Structure 1
Amino acid sequence: MRMPVQARRLLAAVLLLSAAGLGGCATVSPGRAAAAVPDDPLEGLNRGVFEVNQAIDASIARPVAAAYSGNVPADLRQGLSNALSNLREPYSFVNDLLQARSCQAAEALIRFLVNSTVGIAGVFDVAGDHLGIGHHDNDFGLTLAAWGIPDGPYLVLPLLGPSNLRDAGGAVLEWFAEPVDLAFAEAGVDYLSYVRAGLEALDDRADALKDLDHLNATALDRYAAYRSAARQSRTRAQRAPRCQL
């Protein structure tokens, strides 16, 4: 019996580079981090999970990401990052439609079609470099936010990092309904979901090396710094400007 797509993706992320969820929320100064304290009724439990995640990151995720960043040529790393971003376009497209963001949906569709063909499976960002259509991220957590669902309490998920109740629910929806992984399963190449999840984790963690190193070295309370950074990152995503048709 085949493992469900969502379980495969989760397992791949855990086995290959589980701490990558920290990468996208690292760009915040320690001083600013102390200013914003979100609803965190589970702080005691969250801190325990955070320490376990930090230990895994220090012993596995960071060393692998540093080796990758230090030994793989920048052009190859950029090509991989471009290809992975291209695979996210259908997911962003679906969420853009669910949020009635028709212009963003059109951009995601154009990027996917152009970069998948002219850009050679997304390795080259032709849509961004030559058409001026930049990549944007969207997800089910942001869709739920657009539908008026509140954040809920702050959560630190084992191995996956900072989140909240709403975004954790969005992540569950993603595991069931991520378009590219569903296509992999339909085509009988389920293993590509493992490969993709691992490469995404590697790419995200390598991209965040400097930011996370700075945050870990300078924050008086790393838990509070990560918590604030995660909240600020999601707030920025919710308030991202829309294009106009």
Structure 2
Amino acid sequence: MRWKNCLLGTAGLIVGVAVTVLCWTSRARAVDFLSDESYEKPTADVQVADPIEPFNRAMFKVNDKVYLWMIEPVATGYSKVLPADIRGCIGNFFYNLGEPVRSVNCLLQGRVRDAGRTLGRFFLNSICGVFGLADPAGHEFDIAPVYASFGETLSVWGLGDGFYLVVPLLGPSTLRDFSGTVVDGAAMATYSPWNDDGLTSATVQGAKTVNHTSLHLGEYVEIKSMSFDSYVAFRNGYYQMRSKQYDHSNTSR
């Protein structure tokens, strides 16, 4: 199956490069969400590049229905079957699988120390934590998790956001960040143990989503209930969350 993984990785790279070009051409029109000036105003006044808002709102509604009618009910039943500790271990396993990709992104961003820390976490948790089910790197060795994605790498390289994008089944993103997600996913596919066929991969991704949701039940509905326009609230919330992630990464450079 090695040739399939290579094809998948190549396809992901092509998509990433194509979207990166689009992000570059729209950089001059995009708002710099990483600057301090972008956050001097209240959250409701945050300016975002959203030229395809009708499409994004339609996808937001689709994702909302899928979550409320499918994912959350399944996750609720799932949470009643498995204790929180076991679900936490499953979440640790999936997170640990992404550590090699995070390490590479750290190197691409010039964060050599973080690259070593991330790779160290991967080996410690894979060996001492039983394939990543536990987190001895964090609990016993005090090595905190490090955030890094290819979307952030593109940002460090000077590429703009492009524009805001709500991806079906995935949620809020930007043109640049979604391209990074595609490349990161293709990179993980080259060494993930369940990429022999599409059905198995989709099943595993579905299980990962349900497990994650089961650990955060009620949060989505609570956020929606506190906002007059849920679409705008989640759009601004996405940018604030990403800004905090990027700012935290910048402090380690």
TM-score class, shorter-chain normalisation, is 0.7 to 0.9
**Residue 58 (1) aligns with residue 44 (2):** no
Change (3 A) 1:208 1:5: farther
C-alpha contact (below 8 Å) 2:165/2:175 kept by paired residues: yes
Distance 2:105 2:166 in 1: 24
Residue identity opposite 1:202 in structure 2: V
Distance 1:108 1:195 in 2: 27
1:71-116 Cα distance to aligned partner (Å, 9 max, x none): 3101111111111111111111111111111111111111111110
Q: Highest relative contact order (Cα 8 Å, sep 6+), 1 or 2?
A: 1
* SS of corresponding position for 2:159: coil
Match of 1:42 among 29, 44, 52: 52
* SS of corresponding position for 1:209: coil
C-alpha contact (below 8 Å) 2:96/2:125 kept by paired residues: yes
Greater shift in the superposed pair: 46-55 or 67-76: 67-76
C-alpha contact (below 8 Å) 1:82/1:124 kept by paired residues: yes
Change (3 A) 1:172 1:188: closer
1:163-216 Cα distance to aligned partner (Å, 9 max, x none): 1111121122223322xx20247x974576445422321233223323212112
Change (3 A) 1:158 1:35: same
**Residue 135 (1) aligns with residue 145 (2):** yes
Match of 1:212 in 2: 220
C-alpha contact (below 8 Å) 2:57/2:231 kept by paired residues: yes
Q: TM-score, normalised by structure 2?
A: 0.77
Match of 2:157 in 1: 147
**Residue 183 (1) aligns with residue 191 (2):** yes
**Residue 121 (1) aligns with residue 121 (2):** no
Greater shift in the superposed pair: 108-117 or 201-210: 201-210
Structure of larger gyration radius: 2
Distance 1:188 1:221 in 2: 39
Distance 2:251 2:56 in 1: 37
Greater shift in the superposed pair: 67-76 or 79-88: 67-76
Deviation at 1:244, TM superposition (A): 6.1
Deviation at 1:236, TM superposition (A): 1.2
Map residues 80-119 of structure 1 onto 2, 5 A cutoff.
Answer: 80-119=90-129
State the identity %. 34
Distance 2:252 2:51 in 1: 40
Match of 1:67 in 2: 77
* SS of corresponding position for 1:34: helix
C-alpha contact (below 8 Å) 2:8/2:186 kept by paired residues: yes
Residue identity opposite 2:211 in structure 1: D
C-alpha contact (below 8 Å) 1:103/1:242 kept by paired residues: no
Distance 2:111 2:128 in 1: 26
Match of 1:235 among 232, 237, 243: 243
Match of 1:27 in 2: none
Residue identity opposite 1:105 in structure 2: A
1:108-133 Cα distance to aligned partner (Å, 9 max, x none): 11111111011111111010000000
* SS of corresponding position for 1:131: coil
C-alpha contact (below 8 Å) 1:141/1:168 kept by paired residues: yes
Distance 2:108 2:160 in 1: 17
Deviation at 1:33, TM superposition (A): 4.8
Q: Unaligned regions of 5+ residues in structure 1, if any?
A: 10-31
